[in-house]
Amino acid sequence: MAPSAVADLLPTSSNPAPIPSKSQDVDAMSAMAHRGKALPSIPKFASHAETRQWQLEHMAGAFRVFASEGYAEGISGHISVRDPEYEDRFWINPLGVHFGMLKASDMICVNLDGEVTGGNTAGSINAAGFQIHSAVHRARPDVHAICHTHSVCGRAWSAFAKPLDMLNQDVCYFYKAHSVYADYGGIANEASEGEKIAASLGTGKAAILLNHGLLTVGQTVDEAAYLFCLMERSCKVQLAVEAAGLQKHFVSDEEAAYNFTMASTPVSLTT
**pLDDT per residue as tens digits for the range 222-231:** 999 999 999 9
Task: Please indicate, yes or no, if residue 35 is contained in any of the structural domains.
Answer: no
Q: What pLDDT is stored for residue 37 in this prediction?
A: 67
Q: Mean pLDDT across the stretch 81-88?
A: 98
**pLDDT per residue as tens digits for the range 200-211:** 999 999 999 999
pLDDT surpassing 50 at residue 13: no
How would you list the strands of the sheet with 116-119, edge to edge? 116-119, 108-111, 89-92, 78-82, 145-149, 213-218, 206-209, 178-181
Task: Please indicate, yes or no, if residue 22 is contained in any of the structural domains.
Answer: no
The CATH number assigned to the domain holding 232 equals 3.40.225.10
Q: Are strands 116-119 and 108-111 parallel, antiparallel or unpaired?
A: antiparallel
How far is it, in rounded angstroms, from Cα 265 to Cα 167? 20
How far is it, in rounded angstroms, from Cα 175 to Cα 84? 29
Q: Identify the domain containing residue 57 by its residue range.
A: 48-270
At 41, is the pLDDT very low, low, confident or very high (cuts 50, 70, 90)?
Answer: confident
Identity of the amino acid at 175 = Y
Q: Are strands 206-209 and 178-181 parallel, antiparallel or unpaired?
A: parallel
Q: What pLDDT is stored for residue 31 in this prediction?
A: 63
Task: Please indicate, yes or no, if residue 38 is contained in any of the structural domains.
Answer: no
How many structural domains comprise the chain? Answer: 1
Task: Please indicate, yes or no, if residue 229 is contained in any of the structural domains.
Answer: yes
pLDDT surpassing 80 at residue 25: no
Task: Please indicate, yes or no, if residue 108 is contained in any of the structural domains.
Answer: yes
At 15, is the pLDDT very low, low, confident or very high (cuts 50, 70, 90)?
Answer: very low
Task: Please indicate, yes or no, if residue 185 is contained in any of the structural domains.
Answer: yes
Identity of the amino acid at 217 = V
* Phi and psi, residue 122, nearest 5°: -85, -15
What residues form DSSP beta bridges with 118? 109
With beta carbons less than 8 A apart as the criterion, state whether 79 and 102 touch. no
Task: Please indicate, yes or no, if residue 225 is contained in any of the structural domains.
Answer: yes
Bigger pLDDT: 168 vs 23: 168
Q: Are strands 145-149 and 78-82 parallel, antiparallel or unpaired?
A: antiparallel
How far is it, in rounded angstroms, from Cα 221 to Cα 270? 8
With beta carbons less than 8 A apart as the criterion, state whether 206 and 217 touch. yes
Identity of the amino acid at 207 = A
Task: Please indicate, yes or no, if residue 145 is contained in any of the structural domains.
Answer: yes
Q: What percent of the chain has pLDDT over 90?
A: 80
Q: What pLDDT is stored for residue 241 in this prediction?
A: 98
Indicate the pTM of the whole model.
Answer: 0.87
